[in-house]
Structure 1
């Protein structure tokens, strides 16, 4: 394997030792994750469990999806915060509600329901892209399994039983989001960028980037640093509910996708985000290892589903 690029702010964690099941190795990986989560709130994972060939297939399928005519994509349109599925057009979403709409389009998928799903919870599949649905469902499952492995490491890092988070995420109320940032065809509006500054909403996010770049992460000091694409890795960041769970011990970090410099504005950018959310009825209350007399609980208990819905309502 070729040497990985080095980022002095966002650490790179080799997850292979965790998969061995050795408690000492798992503790070491958990300690590395703990340091990242207490600091920048982002970390790269190499030697994760998602095959690169599958990731490549998803990028190919999403490029075909976003190349469809707008009329076709609009037939799959996102309709409401409860479903949170379907196609989201350019400027439809404002991740920073104080700024103009984002210069991106997206396609959201939820878990594939079993028999007789409600119309509100049905995924919207394009009918003329061969292989799209099976590829995305296979990828969905791979991300769900990786999510649980990483949550095990989080639990160890927080001095909890290894499977503490597993039953709190076993309904897989997650969102797989395909993202396309088209070339910049005209001068952006004041304050408009490709994805406005925001923090994610749930427990954690798995992010896969192409090689174009543009993602930036805000450090504790307020500086924006590039989260450069590193081949063969996935990028993990925390969401707001994990920060609430940990009483601000772990950090849900603001991030954004900037408008590229002029010489790169003709390029397409693609990324894949898998947003991991607790079960809707999971109560998010301060974990026992994250408070003390000197650091009492900072947040009231809240149901995960109620928090997610409130954040989505503010975004659209």
Structure 2
């Protein structure tokens, strides 16, 4: 039996997946990460994501958060039907508790196709808000290019996941729409250094991610990301220069009959006394809005040897993390919308009042404002 209680995150070399002589070993290593860990580091991705582009983006991030508060507030998330824009420090909730982070939600380019009579969740995707170009020249184009390249990496990585699960490379394509009807959501996040008097070290509380995979750039050298193994222990995933962190979401776990593992994780604030904030840039690689992953039309058949590896691992332990169980019955877009409503209730109150009343019958909580 495999060691279910991992104590470190595996490191995979993406360049090995691009050579016929080394791809088979990469697929074996990816299969282990998929089934037994749920997380991995990915190195040598320069063929997909330009290294100079990453360095340029990292240089922009402190300047982005240093913009005058009134300028950041001009693109506040409450302006956006699509939950895209700026959130002040402490504006987001995880399981009802405040996350100590400031962030800009920025997605790949997309025009909402929603019109009257369409499902509300079609409007969860749409255009991003950017700060005034004159205040931070070049940032918008840098960010758009970065998100486009990382999304393309994710699209190729999905074919590798399919192969690691014993499917053909196109085995997961049924969960995606045409490129013009897809959007992938990114964030630029700052976790400030807490004071000695801070009552919480919660940068982001324990949670799972919703979709198929997340590609995270840890954009500063601070520790903080932690991953929970089956014993409930928190395993550090510190930044490794030149890598992305990739993890798998609940939609993939549901779609693969529990073979792929979604793993609970959290982010701690930087240690007291740190000289600068922690910065990170995740991209959440989405599946199509109308997909119901448990519908029979999306059911996948896996080789017996893959199912055997899942069964040898055993059942995944229950955690207190947000678990997106709505994938059992709801389309992907509705799961996304409900998650946004619960995380940003003031945006929901303004743009989705019926859903807001469903989740917050007593009105806005004292915290959790995206303005």
TM-score, with length taken from structure 1 = 0.86
1:9 equivalent to 2:8? Answer: yes
Assess if the C-alpha contact under 8 Å between 1:247 and 1:290 holds in 2.
no
In structure 2, the partner of 1:3 is: none
1:224 equivalent to 2:234? Answer: yes
Query: Structure 2, unaligned stretches of length 5 or more?
Result: 1-5, 116-122, 312-324, 345-371
Assess if the C-alpha contact under 8 Å between 1:199 and 1:240 holds in 2.
yes
Assess if the C-alpha contact under 8 Å between 2:194 and 2:272 holds in 1.
no
Assess if the C-alpha contact under 8 Å between 1:40 and 1:220 holds in 2.
no
How large is the RMSD of aligned CA atoms in angstroms? 2.8
Runs of 4+ in 1 over 6 A off after TM superposition: 115-120, 290-295
1:243 equivalent to 2:257? Answer: no
In structure 2, the partner of 1:277 is: 286
Aligned-residue offset at 1:81: 8.2
In structure 2, the partner of 1:204 is: 213
Assess if the C-alpha contact under 8 Å between 2:269 and 2:278 holds in 1.
no
How many pairs align? Answer: 302
1:147 equivalent to 2:154? Answer: yes
TM-score, with length taken from structure 2 = 0.74
Assess if the C-alpha contact under 8 Å between 2:191 and 2:270 holds in 1.
no
Query: Structure 1, unaligned stretches of length 5 or more?
Result: 1-6
1:136 equivalent to 2:146? Answer: no
Aligned-residue offset at 1:186: 6.0
Aligned-residue offset at 1:263: 3.1
Query: Match for 1:158 among 151, 165, 174?
Result: 165
Partner Cα separation in structure 2 for residue 17 and residue 205 of structure 1: 20
1:308 equivalent to 2:318? Answer: no
Partner Cα separation in structure 1 for residue 60 and residue 23 of structure 2: 35
Aligned-residue offset at 1:82: 5.0
* 2:93 alignment partner, SS class: coil
More helix by share: 2
Query: Match for 2:131 among 126, 129, 132?
Result: 126
1:110 equivalent to 2:107? Answer: yes
Aligned-residue offset at 1:157: 1.1
In structure 2, the partner of 1:34 is: 31
Assess if the C-alpha contact under 8 Å between 1:213 and 1:229 holds in 2.
yes
